[in-house]
Structure 1
């Protein structure tokens, strides 16, 4: 277990490895391979994620419901992105659309910093370096998308509000 890089150079954390053991049960091709399955549960309201790791034929009445030791693993979606903000963009207040998707793009290299569906209609994007950003928000795949370019970052104590209203007509 630990922190590694996959074959594409992406960072990943391995929480568990199940090694084969000799069980003495037949057929050995089935029982001696550390077989099992995983379940990922998403709570869309709280953004909590639970990852379960079950052996084949779990004993459901054992401690920890029969999952492998150390499981389940729980975390929040926003914990999965643990970078500390250096500056912020203005607070965006959106009318006429519930829970829009925001995408923040670093204009110095045209890279997507992150994309996030917010809860509600107000969001103050955090950024990880001073600079100019493009902010896209709305409902992807529809005509309800808005793009603001050349949005300058600012220190956390500075505040600016940008309001936008999507038309209620289809």
Structure 2
């Protein structure tokens, strides 16, 4: 497996046994390698979206989504850059936590909406 941190691409390799992978003639199994994006690794389909989170004061912050009705943690992700549109898997209200440690911000009561109605949420860290 190879991880490209700058592009957030993950490449999986599958070599036959007893192959010297450094050899110019070495080949992986047919159909390999396979490359996916970091977000492809969590393949659940969105039912709704939260507003696009636009962060100022930090780059690549951690973002956490919590379902308010149950208190259930849905997912956490270190976003790439300063903007990310969180997907969610059912309608309702959510808490969005952005950042780490003492500088973390928490926004409660964020309503899930359709993709076209999601809007923008600005967060200053």
Q: Aligning the two structures, in what range does the TM-score lie when normalised by the shorter sequence?
A: 0.7 to 0.9
Question: Where in structure 2 are the equivalents of 1:7-156 lying within 5 Å?
Answer: 40-54=1-15, 55-56=17-18, 58=20, 60-64=23-27, 67-68=28-29, 70-138=31-99, 140=100, 142-156=101-115
Give unmatched runs, 5+ long, in structure 2: none
Within 1, Cα distance between the matches of 2:103 and 2:2? 30
TM normalised by structure 1 equals: 0.63
Between Structure 1 and Structure 2, whose CA radius of gyration is higher?
A: 1
1:109/1:69 CA distance change after superposition, 3 Å: same
Give unmatched runs, 5+ long, in structure 1: 1-39
Secondary structure at the aligned position of 1:79 is classed as helix
In the alignment of these two chains, the number of paired residues is 123
What RMSD, in angstroms, separates the aligned Cα atoms of the two structures? 2.0
Structure 1 runs of 4+ with >6 Å offset: none
Ranked by relative contact order (alpha carbons within 8 Å, sequence separation 6 or more), the top structure is 2
TM normalised by structure 2 equals: 0.83
Secondary structure at the aligned position of 2:74 is classed as strand
